[in-house]
Amino acid sequence: MGFDELRIAGRLLPGIKYWRGIAEALAANGIEVITTSVSAVGSVEQRAEMLSRAIERRAFGKSVNIIAHSMGGLDARYMISRVHPPNVNVVSLSTIATPHHGSSFADYVFERIGRRNIPRVYKTMDRLGLEHGAFSQLTRQYMLEEFNPKTPDHPDVRYFSYGAMCNPGWWSMFWTPHRIIERVEGENDGLVSVESSQWGSYKGTLVGVNHLDLINWTNRLRWMMWELTGNKRK
């Protein structure tokens, strides 16, 4: 589950398939795969409603195991707990690098920039095609005092989670957020800490991968740039 397409430069470059390679690997093992998409803008609650409608439409009458990356895990948790998609049996939810307990980087952004200036940041992110819809809901205080208490686990659904950690170089887009998060929460993947990733049964930490490596984004970007220069993958 996640966005069908990720755009790193707005409309200037072609979109990158969000789950490219991962969905194919699952399908090759005989698993029926359904990828859904929700808006990159809007609150967790709004995105959960979109997700519920998409799952009901595409998995009507079926049992599903949901795999969600990053904020998609919060959308899925809210959907399972509060929306209850009809005619669909959710068996399990596995989240990958989802900020279940908020993000010290979100805290930092709001403290440094100020809430009044956040709309300007959102406009910049819009132009770049980057997700920001529920960013204001990712502070650690909001997750601790609002979201988690009001979004209890469904007793009939099994919850699993994975985290990741990396050590990005100074040239990496994750260099600054990684350092900020590390000082407060410890090991992290450049956006989400190992500590915050834990929900339900924690299955382990992936080492040496950043937040986007987890969905094969780095390889996909490399392939896309290769093809844009007139080459073809073998």
Direct distance between the N- and C-terminal alpha carbons of the chain, in angstroms, rounded to an integer: 28
Q: Average pLDDT for residues 81-104, to the nearest whole number?
A: 94
Which of 232 and 108 is assigned the larger pLDDT? Answer: 108
pLDDT tens digits, 127-176 = 544 555 567 788 999 999 999 999 999 999 999 999 999 999 998 888 99
Give the relative orientation of helices 104-113 and 118-128 as an angle to the nearest 10 degrees: 120
- Classified as helix, coil or strand, 38 is coil
Does the structure show a pLDDT above 60 at 5?
no
This prediction has a pTM of 0.82
pLDDT tens digits, 183-201 = 999 999 999 999 999 999 9
98 Cβ contact partners less than 8 Å away, ≥ 6 residues apart: 68, 69, 70, 71, 72, 73, 74, 161, 192, 196, 197, 199
Provide the b/e sequence for 173-193 (b: ≥16 CB within 10 Å). Answer: ebeebbebbbeebebbbbbbb
Q: Are 190 and 168 within 8 A, CB to CB?
A: yes
Domain topology for 5-163+196-209? Rossmann fold (3.40.50)
Give dist(CA 22, CA 226) in Å, integer: 20
